[in-house]
Amino acid sequence: MTKLQEVENGLPGGDAAPRSRSEQQPQQVAEALALLSQDIRESKQAEESLRQSRETLLLSLNELEQRDRDHVALSKLSNYLNSCLTADEACTVITSFAPQLLPSDVGTLYRIGAAGGYLERLASWGDIPSEEKLFALHDCWALRRARLHWIADTRNGLLCQHVAGAAESILPYLCIPLIAHSEMMGLLCLQRLQFASAVPNGSAALESKLELAAALGEAISLALSNLKLRDTLRQQSIRDPLTGLYNRRFLEEYLVHEGVRATRKNRPLSVIMLDIDNFKRFNDTFGHDAGDAILRRMGLLLQGHVRGSDIACRIGGEEFALLLPEAPLSIAFQRAENILETVRRMQVKHGGQVLGAITVSLGVAAFPKHGETPEALIRAADRALYQAKEGGRNKLASA
């Protein structure tokens, strides 16, 4: 017999004396209502538990979907960065993808300056104060410790010196050190991060975002390192190691480019060929180190006689060339005369002694008058150079 049947029969536990139906009815109703109330509570508890489980499952699913989107975006970023040929292209990619991965009102990419010890702004988005363009490496805790530096509240962390002036207006902020092959490349600083205010510090979601930030920093670091290496190898392939001037390979490549440009825009283009007179005598008399000293000095002199668009080259031995885009023959001839006079006054010391008088012979040719192709233009300038040498050296001749 069930408990409900016992109630209806007036025999709870079987010990009570039989009661009249009028006495049994109120108690039966009360106990039935109590059982019904208990059933309702248990049902509501089951529904709440099911709802919480569903919300937890949806939250986990959303987090997984977000992680998947982040990884896809990070993969695209890495792919684009690996295809970049210049730092400017890399900056364009970074400023496009970084706000998607780590939404921030303000972001700045810094790189180590050429002099070292300081960071200079490479790219940015948002409202960046002008005074943040340059700061010392030791002003950033992330760079000092070579790890992420995350601050959501000034009461729970140390502000970096380079953002200390802004304080509350930039929180929460994150500094990501850019390190590749144990070399510090720069810094990515994100301010007013949008996800941080809604996520408790130390939560799994925050840890996931910081892991994403570290992956972002690694991708950017490797890209900057690869670009630096590629640029170094490129410079080694087109630069003369002794003088620092461009070599013949670069002259020929650049002359093709400038020849096409001059033809398309109907602009002038001139070439000056230059050769140090009696250079072998210096080597035989004073030694090859003295000859190298003369070549280095000549490289510095030519660098001082070029405009921003001009190209100075050492094309072999003691022979040099100047490529002058948009310069007509008259301007090139005047430039060559200035170089001739400057060399005549030049003195080079080596080993405590003056190496003696140094002179040069120069030949000038202009496009398209003396040659309509790069090869023809160089040959014309070479012929003019040999005319100057045959005329007694220390001279200037035009094709």
Number of helices (H), then strands (E), belonging to the chain: the values are 10, 13
Question: Active site includes 218?
Answer: no
Handedness of CA 235, 239, 245, 251 (dihedral sign): negative
| Residue 318: strand, helix, or coil | coil
Cβ neighbours, 10 Å, residue 160:
21
Q: Residue 285's CB: how many other CB atoms inside 10 A?
A: 12
Which of these is catalytic: 31, 63, 183, 318? 318
CA atoms in the 13 A half-sphere facing the CB of 187 = 35
144, 160 Cβ separation under 8 angstroms: no
Provide DSSP, 153-194: -GGGSPPPGGGTTTGGGG-SEEEEEEEETTEEEEEEEEEEET
DSSP 8-class letter at 200: -
Bridge partners of 123? 109
Token pair recorded at residue 319: 């022979």
Which residues are registered as beta bridge partners of 311?
323
Two tokens, residue 51: 């709802």
Determine contact, residues 323/311, Cβ cutoff 8 Å.
Answer: yes
CA-to-CA distance for 315 and 238, rounded, in angstroms? 11
Q: Where would I find the beta strands (DSSP E) of the chain?
A: 104-112, 118-125, 134-136, 149-151, 173-180, 183-193, 269-276, 311-316, 319-325, 349-350, 353-354, 360-367, 396-398
CB-count exposure of residue 62 (10 Å: 0-12, 13-18, 19+): exposed
Q: Is 150 exposed, middle or buried (0-12, 13-18, 19+ CB in 10 A)?
A: buried
Question: 3-state class of 309 per DSSP?
Answer: coil
Residues that are catalytic: 318
